[in-house]
Chains A and B, each alone.
Chain A
Amino acid sequence: MTTKSANSGSRTTQSGRPARLSLADWMPKLVMAPTVVTTIVCIYGYMIWTAVLSFTNSRMLPTYKFVGTAQYERLFDNDRWLVALSNLGVFGGLFILICLVLGVMLAIFLDQKIRAEGAIRTIYLYPMAISFIVTGTAWKWLLNPTNGIEKMMIELGFEDFRFNWLSDPDMVVYCLVIAAVWQASGFVMALFLAGLRGVDGEMIKAAQLDGAGIFTTYRRIILPSLKPVFFSAMVILSHIAIKSFDLVASLTNGGPGYSSDLPANFMYTHAFNRSQMGLGSASAMVMLGCVLAILIPYLYSELRGERHE
């Protein structure tokens, strides 16, 4: 935002007007200033503070006794953290992949000018309106082996039906994937549907005149032109995955044991419940690293794109 207002400022001076800035020139900067200050203090300031704390041995309250990288060493020596990280890999990977595939498929199906499209679209998009806490609680009941899907199937006569992922340490992370996909795939669908509607109809007609089937048209013409939508969806989904906290808190609470812990839950538990603020800060910094790893290439491509225009 700041760069834009700076640009417009320089542009007016270049356009031959006197260099003295009028109130109208200052106005945008004045209006933006509070936002900029709060952003700098409340986001970047606290980021730096967390970074500082991660090098101290802070326990219940922040202290400034520096211990070097000891907290990071402890962190990567901690079995629970490693479980949380690998869970993030599995959960994040599957969640993004399945959401994209399902979202694109649903969008394409909905794009076939079917009846009651508005109603169907709303039904698919609706889960997004629900908080992850509600999603987690609802799926907790559905997946509970004693009173959810398993019980229903047994009562329907499938006596040997077993679906106990929620209490199986090796499978529980897939329960998180199920609930999160249910929540977010409708949103991806909506993104792609908007993208599909924006594709130039002439281009599709031209492809059809050239004898391309519907499958080829989608694969070769339409989907490649939706690359920016893909990219936005990826970025949004991956940050949902990394910051996921409420879903775990309500669906499994990290259990059984700590087999479904995600980094955000690890950070909260250690920094606030267990009086290990230093260790918690270190884990928060690793999470920040994960976000930056996604954000920097995104920003890079965005900024480079702008220059090309």
Chain B
Amino acid sequence: MKKIAFGLSTVALSLAAATAQAGEVEVLHWWTSGGEAAAINVLKQEMTDAGHTWKDFAVAGGGGESAMTVLKSRAIAGNPPASAQIKGPTIQEWGDLGFLTNLDDVAKQGDWDSVLPSVVSSAMKYDGHYVAAPVNVHRVNWMWANPEVFKKAGASIPTTWDQFITEAKKIKAAGYTPLAHGGQAWQDATLFEAIALAKGSKFYNSAFLSLSDDTLRSQDMIDVFTTFKAMREFVDPGFSGRDWNIATSMVINGEAAMQIMGDWAKGEFTAAGKKAGIDYVCYPAPGTSGQFTFNIDSLAMFQVDGDDAQAAQQDLARLILEPKFQETFNLNKGSIPARLNMPRDKFDTCAHASMDAFLASSTTGDLLPSYAHGMAVNSMVQGAINDVVTNFFNSESITAEEAVDKLARAVKAADM
């Protein structure tokens, strides 16, 4: 790629010329909630300490949809920010359009290839070159539970989905909501993904990464849909459109027993002054204990003009991977650091479990990108799967067989 090569040479020149140059970086992100804002402020401070100017470009909105819309309009106008919060296959889409710059020099200096697990580093590369820096790793297949509710209902923590159904019935009979859930497409997808994951990593890979038509139409997939539909009777009637953090608060205040949600839910428990292992417990989603579906946030770097600006941008990338930032950011965010071999004494038990699973699964092939959070497939395919999943969960008339057929056809149509 010519652009990459050009970027590489200018970067090398600017680094050689003046490493201490002060420049401005504009960072587009959607870390606007309390804990998130605190997390990103750490980076802002470090950049200011390094003598650079930080221009904050925060666009509120949980999933970052509005931020992406703004980014696109800026890119079309030929004025993208120096850095933007982009993740997963979207990095590749931007790379294809020729917008991203080359970070290979910083990566070499920081030895990114060895401090990052290969699954993380490969997600940060376009065409073999680093174009983005990872800030954290979220584990998506978590189950958060309120032990008090389990005790009152005489139920035990389920480790398979069959057992989940048995225990949930007990909890429901005791007058509690078994599953705290918000009826938004991405939350339905998170639950669906956890159930599909229990069918094994091979099945998951074949269905959501290779998008194999045979797997999408298989009996296993029909089973996944059937189990998924069984969850419908364990949610309360007001679940429609509820935000995930409201669902988490139902577990916190003892209205509901469990929630299937990524580890950002931990931030809510912490904010409510709850202690891991005492007031709430975290388990892998039923049947997925050795597996790890990841959601990695990253800052991708856009091509900018001017030596100063480029130097600042390279500094930003370097600082993101420094252990200090990785630790402070992730303590605030509830996730775990993207780099390996970090001191872990400040993290809680859930984070420790997450780190252990991350390391172990990376060697067994059970470390998988989360489709529900846009790490596995592009936004078109992801949206098509979500449409089928959420429509099936809410409709009373579609059978699992019909849903599987719809799924296979929708994926094919979106993948064109």
Whether a CB of chain A sits under 8 angstroms from the CB of B72 is: yes
B185 to A: closest C-beta gap in Å: 8
Of listed B241, B390, B391, B406, residue having the most chain A CB within 10 A: B241
CB of A283 to closest CB in B, whole Å: 14
Give bound CA distance, A167 to B183, whole Å.
9
Checking B238, B390, B394, B396 against A146 with a beta-carbon cut-off of 8 angstroms, the contacting residue is B238
Q: Which residues of A contact B183 (CB under 8 A)?
A: 167, 255-256
Residues of B within 8 A of A140 (CB): 241
- Determine whether the beta carbon of B380 is less than 8 Å from that of A274: yes
Q: Which of B65, B93, B94, B395 is in CB contact (< 8 Å) with A257?
A: B395
Asked if A252 and B241 sit within 8 Å, CB to CB, the answer is yes
- Distance (whole angstroms) from the CB of B68 to the closest CB of chain A: 7
For residue B226, which residues in chain A have a CB less than 8 angstroms away from its CB? none
List of A residues within 8 angstroms of B240 by Cβ = 166-167, 172, 252, 255-256
CB neighbours (8 Å) of A74 from chain B are 413, 416
* Smallest Cβ-Cβ distance to A259: which chain B residue: B394
Number of interface residues of B (CB under 8 A): 34
**Once the chains are docked, how many angstroms separate the CA of A62 from the CA of B72?**
10
Interface of chain A residues 198 through 229 with chain B (CB within 8 A)? none
Known: A61-B75, A146-B238. A269 touches B383 (CB 8 A): yes
Q: Which residues of A contact B390 (CB under 8 A)?
A: 255-258
Are A253 and B65 neighbours in the complex by a CB distance under 8 Å?
no
Shortest beta-carbon distance from A141 to chain B in Å:
10
Q: Does B393 contact A (CB under 8 A)?
A: yes
Measured between beta carbons, the chain B residues less than 8 angstroms from A144 are 238
The answer to whether A61 and B238 have CB atoms under 8 Å apart is no
B387 at the interface (CB under 8 A from A): yes
Given A145-B238, A166-B240, CB of A272 within 8 Å of CB of B394: no
Residue B379 at the chain A interface, CB threshold 8 Å: yes
Interface residues of B in 369-416 (CB under 8 A from A): 378-380, 382-383, 387, 390-396, 406, 413, 416
Asked if A13 is an interface residue, CB under 8 A from chain B, the answer is no
* Most chain B C-beta atoms within 10 Å of own C-beta, residue among A145, A253, A254, A255: A255
In the complex, residue of chain A having the shortest beta-carbon distance to the beta carbon of B391: A257
Q: Indicate if B273 sits at the interface (CB-CB under 8 A).
A: no
Among B97, B184, B382, point to the contact of A253 (Cβ < 8 A): B184
Expressed in whole angstroms, the minimum distance between the Cβ of A162 and any Cβ of chain B is: 9
Assess the A61–B394 pair: CB atoms within 8 A: no
Instruction: Return the chain B residue nearest A60 by Cβ.
Output: B93
Q: Is the CB of A275 closer than 8 A to any CB of chain B?
A: yes
Is A77 interfacial (CB 8 A cutoff)? yes
Chain A residues with CB below 8 A from B239, complex form: 167
B69 and A275 form a contact (CB under 8 A)? no
In the complex, chain A residues whose CB is within 8 Å of the CB of B406: 79
Closest beta carbon of chain B to A152's beta carbon, Å: 14
* Chain A 56-105 interface residues, beta-carbon cutoff 8 Å to B: 59-62, 74, 77-80
Q: Footprint of B on A, CB under 8 Å?
A: 59-62, 74, 77-80, 140, 144-147, 164, 166-167, 169, 172, 252-259, 269-270, 272-276
24 inter-chain pairs at a CB distance below 8 angstroms, sorted by A residue, are A60-B93, A60-B94, A60-B97, A62-B76, A79-B391, A80-B387, A167-B238, A167-B240, A169-B396, A252-B241, A255-B241, A256-B394, A257-B185, A257-B390, A257-B392, A257-B395, A258-B185, A259-B394, A272-B65, A273-B379, A273-B383, A274-B380, A274-B382, A275-B379
Extra contacts besides A253-B184, A276-B383 (15): CB < 8 Å: A60-B97, A61-B72, A74-B416, A79-B387, A79-B391, A167-B240, A255-B183, A255-B240, A256-B183, A256-B390, A256-B393, A259-B395, A270-B383, A273-B68, A273-B383
